[in-house]
Structure 1
Amino acid sequence: MSQTNVLTVDQNELKEAWSRTLPTVLNESDQAEVVADEYNPSSLRIHIRSAGHSMYSFDFQVTYVDTREVKVELVDAEKAEQTVDERNEVIQHLIEDYIRHIHECAQALKSLTHT
């Protein structure tokens, strides 16, 4: 990997940009919280609470592989603050949807990350 593909954006600046942009690509009533990953300066932690009465919430780790690509990993899925089996079809659909939205957010922030 060449030096030009290494992420050089300050993690706090990245967190702020994600905090502003992610709600614009999620469903309007979903809520998201973005925090810096204290162990990896190229990663962020994202907590999403699903809209409505489902009481689902999801934690993702988003790691910049380079300036253009992010790797998204599900860390935890919960319903009413209890861990659930994420293999459930409804939960799988929600996870896939949120991962797609997270990738959309990364695309929207390309002007910041890819200099």
Structure 2
Amino acid sequence: MANEELQIDQNQLVAAWQRTLPEWIKDADNCEVFPDEADPKALRITISAAGRQTYSFDFKVCYVDSREMKVEIIDVDKNNVSIDERTDPMQQLIQDYTRHLHECAQALQQLTHA
């Protein structure tokens, strides 16, 4: 059986992610969720890491269908300056946040599978 198209409005999806994502990231970290203007099945998520370094991670979360989503790192900033995200410490943080994004998506499955 083929997976169905995502049946939820992008604005409803953004609101659900805004409510749910803070539960999946560290308390001290901040997150913002925006609609992807170019793709109605995608969200843009910025996670600002707590700490002295002021790292900011920009992700694109795209729903392939109602059951599958993919996460793409768009940019990593340190003190509002783009940095190389290929270093081991950055890759570790990106993997952690990607896992949290997938956990959040799992928590929202009831909404996205409707």
TM-score of the alignment, normalized to the shorter chain, above 0.5:
yes
Query: Gapped runs of 5+ residues in structure 1?
Result: none
1:64 aligns with 2:38: no
Q: CA deviation at 1:57?
A: 0.3
TM-score for the superposition, normalised by structure 2: 0.96
**Secondary structure, aligned partner of 2:34:** strand
1:90 aligns with 2:93: no
Q: Which residue of 2 aligns with 1:37?
A: 36
Whichever residue aligns with residue 101 of structure 2, its letter is I
Structure-2 separation of matches of 1:54 and 1:17:
29
Q: Deviations over 1:9-44 (max 9, x none)?
A: 000000000000000000111000000011111000
TM-score for the superposition, normalised by structure 1: 0.95
Q: How many residues align?
A: 114
Q: Which residue of 1 aligns with 2:10?
A: 11
**Secondary structure, aligned partner of 2:31:** strand
Q: Which residue of 1 aligns with 2:53?
A: 54
Whichever residue aligns with residue 15 of structure 2, its letter is E
Identity %: 53
Structure-2 separation of matches of 1:28 and 1:68:
28
Structure-1 separation of matches of 2:49 and 2:26:
9
Structure-2 separation of matches of 1:81 and 1:15:
24
Q: Which residue of 2 aligns with 1:20?
A: 19
Q: Deviations over 1:49-103 (max 9, x none)?
A: 0011121000000000111111100000010011111111111110000000000
Q: Which residue of 2 aligns with 1:108?
A: 107
Task: List 4+ stretches of structure 1 deviating above 4 A.
Answer: none
Query: Gapped runs of 5+ residues in structure 2?
Result: none
Whichever residue aligns with residue 91 of structure 2, its letter is Q
Mapping for residues 67-82 of structure 1, pairs under 5 Å:
67-82=66-81
